[in-house]
Amino acid sequence: MILIIVTGTLYFFLGDMNSFMSKSKLNKEIQVKQISSTEMSKAQYTRKGSAAYIDWIRVELDQNDINNIVNWVNSVPDSDIIELKQIPSNTSISAGIVFRLKTRKEIRIQYDLEKIYITRTNIRTGQVIYTINQEDLKNFFDKQLKGFYFGEDKVEES
């Protein structure tokens, strides 16, 4: 009888610990060697007559860019991570990066000129969405987006 109680207690305790660990480690370390492909695109607003258009422009990332992005994301402390149920519907994404992993999972990094959203399918089952606060990555996106809004800089200088 005591063995059953101890076993049951351990089962619930370990289950709770497992749940706690998976919730607290949203920003699981990305390993560059696990990335099979990378894509980046950014919005570009243009006018033709009285009409406005949004084109998505592909951006080539070199290995140095990829290494920097991975290091920046990996460097974010848990205190600068906020889990979300979904990306807010009123969010207007201006740039994004997708890391496709060798495991057929992906890490999607999106930027709306204010926040960085990360959607991952390589943690837990399903997808996990969270925001991070990472100044170097924000600056990288801002630099990529110079002049994207009708030729003007909607990105504010810091």
Give the pLDDT of residue 96: 97
Per DSSP, helices labelled H in the chain are: 2-24, 63-74, 135-144
User: CB within 8 A of 39, min separation 6: which ones?
Assistant: 58, 97, 98, 100
Give the pLDDT of residue 156: 52
Q: Is 79 helix (H, G, I), strand (E, B) or coil?
A: helix
The pTM (predicted TM-score) of the whole model is 0.79
Give the pLDDT of residue 153: 59
pLDDT digits (tens, 9 = 90+) for 42-93: 998 888 888 888 899 999 999 999 999 999 999 999 899 999 999 999 999 9
SS3 breakdown of the chain: % helix, strand, coil, rounded to 5?
Answer: 30, 35, 35
pLDDT digits (tens, 9 = 90+) for 4-52: 544 444 444 444 444 344 344 678 899 999 999 999 999 988 888 888 8
pLDDT at residue 115 tops 90: yes
Q: Sign (positive/negative) of CA torsion 80, 84, 90, 92?
A: positive
Give the pLDDT of residue 17: 41
Contact call for residues 148 and 43 (beta carbons, < 8 A): yes
The domain 28-144 is placed in CATH, from the list 3.30.1490, 1.10.10, 3.30.2390, 3.60.21, at 3.30.1490
Give the pLDDT of residue 86: 94
**Residue range 116-125: mean pLDDT, rounded:** 91
**CA pair distance 144, 67, nearest whole angstrom:** 16
User: CB within 8 A of 125, min separation 6: which ones?
Assistant: none
Q: Are strands 95-101 and 116-120 parallel, antiparallel or unpaired?
A: unpaired
Between 135-144 and 63-74, two packed helices, what is the crossing angle to 10 degrees? 140
pLDDT at residue 124 tops 90: no
